[in-house]
Structure 1
Amino acid sequence: MRFLTLRVRTFLFMILNLLLAFLLTGAFSLYHFQEETTDYHQQRLERKERAIISHIEYVISGQDSVPRTYDEWSELFDERLNEIGSVHKLDLAIYHPKGERIAASVNAAENQGVLPERLNEFPKGGRRVPLGRKVDDSGDLLISTSEILDANKEVDLIVKTLYRVDNSAIPESEIEYLKQLVYVYLFLLLLGIVLAFVLSNYISQNMRRVIEQLKKVRLNKSNEKLDWRFNDEIGELIQQYNDMVEQLERTAVELATSERESAWKEMAQQVAHEIKNPLTPMRLTLQMIEREKDIKEVREMATNLLEEVENLTHIAEAFSRFAQMPGLQLERFDVSYQTNRAVG
């Protein structure tokens, strides 16, 4: 990962976020659809179950007397139960209140596991008890057990109903909605990929722009500043770059000033050295002449020359002090005396 460029890492990070968001949204949508499908089949089973019970009660009401024995019930429903199951497209069986199976639809033999010869579970405290789901080789089954009561609220029959889950029965509008949702997700995913690519390029191009400007930064020339209109992270980086350019320009000015001062100091030291070299032997010679007491004029001339040598020495020392950049030194002297001495 560390070998990937910033643009590629940004692009991949955005794509992963998009995929994660779509996966979570898709998982939630799938879960919601499955719950809706389960509710749809459960409600459909309840409607069919009510219709079957009404059908069975209608058959019973058409008899002169209500059957009471197992044989009477079997004779009544042995053939008619197939018709009822065919009409409602369900497999079912009816049981005597004691649990013996009276009759079953034509597919009962294929469902011996859930439509047994004798019931082991009975409804308790209600006319309908959903017994859950079972998955067999032919698909998913919903199982429910209901009671049919007589006029005295006593149990006449127990009806066990099997509902085979068939998603082809789901309304076409819901299937179409799911298809449209998938198309929208795919479109949004493609749009997100394009936007992630554009945004990653936008970020990397601005970063590359800053990098290129940093490569061009030189101390001995004017460096170009960058403009940025937004107050974001890239804007902060560019502001830091502009501040660095300003600081570099100030440093360059200070360095140039320092170089000039250094050159002046070096020149002053050189001038002082060049002046002092001939003055030393001249001073010694003039001092020897000044000690001669025979010729007054020569001695006065030597004295004047010595004063001039001293002045040159002071000048050389001043240059030397300038090279050391001392503080300002003030000195009092007699202008008339110095002028007359220089003229005389």
Structure 2
Amino acid sequence: MFLLVVIAFALIAGITYYQYREQVRDYNKDRLERKENAIKKDIDRTLKSTTYQLLTDKIPFIFKEEIFDIARIHGENVTLYDLEGRPLISSTEKLFNSPVKEAIPQRILDTLEASVIEKRFVERIETEIPRQLSYSYINDPRFKPLAILQIQYENSESFINKEMREILWRMGVVALIVFITAIILAYVLARYITQRLKAIEEKIKETQLDKRNKKVDTQSLPTELLTLVSAYNGMIDELEESAAQLAQSEREAAWREMAKQVAHEIKNPLTPMRLTVQSFERRFDPEDPEINQKLKEYSNTLIQQIDTMSSIASAFSNFADMPAQQSETLNVPKIVKLALDIFRERNIAFAKADQEILAKFDRTQLIRVVTNLVKNAIQATVNTEDPQIHVHVLEVDALVQISVSDNGLGITEENKPKIFEPKFTTKTSGMGLGLAMVKNIMETYNGSITFTSEEGKGTVFTVTFPKE
């Protein structure tokens, strides 16, 4: 409403100003033409009554006195020029008192000569008082040009401009009054509407899914709000029905999600257990003198994976506390090497520090972290021509860093913010819980997980945790 008021008065003021400017221009044009015709009539009368020969060089003698009378009678300055634009005589004394007499510019002479119909040219001069210079030919009785007449006409704009300013001022006052009235009216209307909507607002604020919501009484409401309130009351009925269905769906979804997470986490140790058994079966040689040592290593690997499954089952029994923090002093490079032994891929390179790196961490959880990161790297390099996976263990001050890098597909910019979200995955298999679990484990041990990736070139995941 305010905007419409301002725009309307701005348009009215603009149109009024434009209309006044047009009227001023038309008024000055008509007045100049009338002045010009009257002056030319007096000049013709003087030419007819003179005893001098009607020649251009006689003009100063013919109008020696008359030009001042003509200028005084009509209230305009008059100057006569020869046909070449040189001044002959003028009612403006300054022109002939000055050392250099001003001639008519050549462009005006050319335009005047080209103006076949009117033989007239008008030029507007912008000075402190706007004026116009009118040029036209003076002819003898046989219509032969004798001289060029210049009339200095001062535009009569001061009075009209004063009137225009007064009108615009009055319009501004009216606009201000209307604007203030619009503000008051808008305030009154807003108060009326908001008072009626207050009850509905309070009811909507109190609306909750876990309790019975009251409906709004429609008996005392105006017709304008009746439809809105009826829709709200209908929504309350639908909300109660939907709340019951939603609660049942949430319970079912929670059980399904728990089942998916348990299956995903149990599948992680099952895969290395299967690979260990297959590797043992393929490499078993009763005549090998180190068979007992190898058997012991395979047994330890299976026992560790079984312990991992047991830990997963225990952790999921109380998911809010997962993973259970059981710190023990570990030689990190040794545990990482142990976790990598279950993979058969030959493109996995492990570079560890020469000295041992001791840190307090849960053995099972550390194996889970490394296993998840390496499995992701393997899956990222499936379609790579020369897949390379590098695992590094570093000691940085009081921190331990484990990095797993690959030259696989990399992670797109779109997927980077979502990489640690549960159930997010770009693979055709898997539930997308691996990295979320790793992040949860690292945060439990006051650690962190970060990554850098370039699409088409590879990814580096780095987990960092304190030694103590």
Question: How far is the alpha carbon of 1:155 from its aligned partner?
Answer: 1.2
Residue 55 (structure 2) aligned to one of 44, 51, 68: 68
Q: Which amino acid aligns with 1:241?
A: Y
Question: How far is the alpha carbon of 1:161 from its aligned partner?
Answer: 1.5
Q: Which amino acid aligns with 1:162?
A: Q
TM-score, normalised relative to structure 2: 0.42
2:79–2:92 contact (8 Å) kept in structure 1: no
Distance 1:130 1:248, change over 3 A: same
CA distance in 1, matches of 2:25, 2:228: 56
Distance 1:204 1:55, change over 3 A: farther
Q: Which residue of 2 aligns with 1:16?
A: 3
Question: How far is the alpha carbon of 1:130 from its aligned partner?
Answer: 3.3
Q: Which residue of 1 aligns with 2:80?
A: 94
Q: Which residue of 1 aligns with 2:67?
A: 81
Q: Which residue of 1 aligns with 2:277?
A: none
Q: Which amino acid aligns with 2:73?
A: V
Question: 1:170 aligned to 2:157?
Answer: no
CA deviation string 1:59-84 (max 9, x = no partner): 223324553141x2102223322232
Q: Which residue of 1 aligns with 2:91?
A: 105
CA deviation string 1:239-278 (max 9, x = no partner): 42232245468889x99xxxxxxxxxxxxxxxxxxxxxxx
Question: How far is the alpha carbon of 1:93 from its aligned partner?
Answer: 0.9
Q: Which residue of 1 aligns with 2:232?
A: 241
Structural mapping, 1:1-344, within 5 Å: 14-64=1-51, 67-70=54-57, 72-106=58-92, 108-109=94-95, 116-118=102-104, 120=106, 121-122=108-109, 123-124=112-113, 125-136=116-127, 138-170=128-160, 180-215=170-205, 219-220=211-212, 222-226=214-218, 227-230=221-224, 237-247=228-238
Q: Please identify which structure carries the higher strand content.
A: 2
CA distance in 2, matches of 1:211, 1:97: 88
Aligned residue for 2:141, secondary structure, equals coil
Question: How far is the alpha carbon of 1:149 from its aligned partner?
Answer: 2.1
For structure 2, the residue ranges without an aligned partner over 5 or more in a row are: 246-468
Larger Rg: 1
CA deviation string 1:47-102 (max 9, x = no partner): 212222122222223324553141x2102223322232222222221112232211
Aligned residues: CA RMSD: 3.7
Question: How far is the alpha carbon of 1:145 from its aligned partner?
Answer: 0.9
CA distance in 1, matches of 2:56, 2:138: 15
For structure 1, the residue ranges without an aligned partner over 5 or more in a row are: 1-13, 256-344
- Higher mean alpha-carbon deviation, 76-85 vs 217-226, is at 217-226
Q: Which amino acid aligns with 1:130?
A: F
1:52–1:88 contact (8 Å) kept in structure 2: yes
CA distance in 2, matches of 1:101, 1:221: 99
* Percent of aligned pairs sharing the same letter: 24
Q: Which residue of 2 aligns with 1:278?
A: none
CA deviation string 1:95-121 (max 9, x = no partner): 122322111122653998xx9235522
TM-score, normalised relative to structure 1: 0.56
Q: Please identify which structure carries the higher helix content.
A: 1
1:127–1:148 contact (8 Å) kept in structure 2: no
Q: Which amino acid aligns with 1:91?
A: N
Q: RCO higher in 1 or 2 (8 Å CA, sep ≥ 6)?
A: 1
CA distance in 1, matches of 2:145, 2:180: 62
Question: How far is the alpha carbon of 1:201 from its aligned partner?
Answer: 3.8
CA distance in 2, matches of 1:128, 1:200: 68
Distance 1:51 1:224, change over 3 A: same
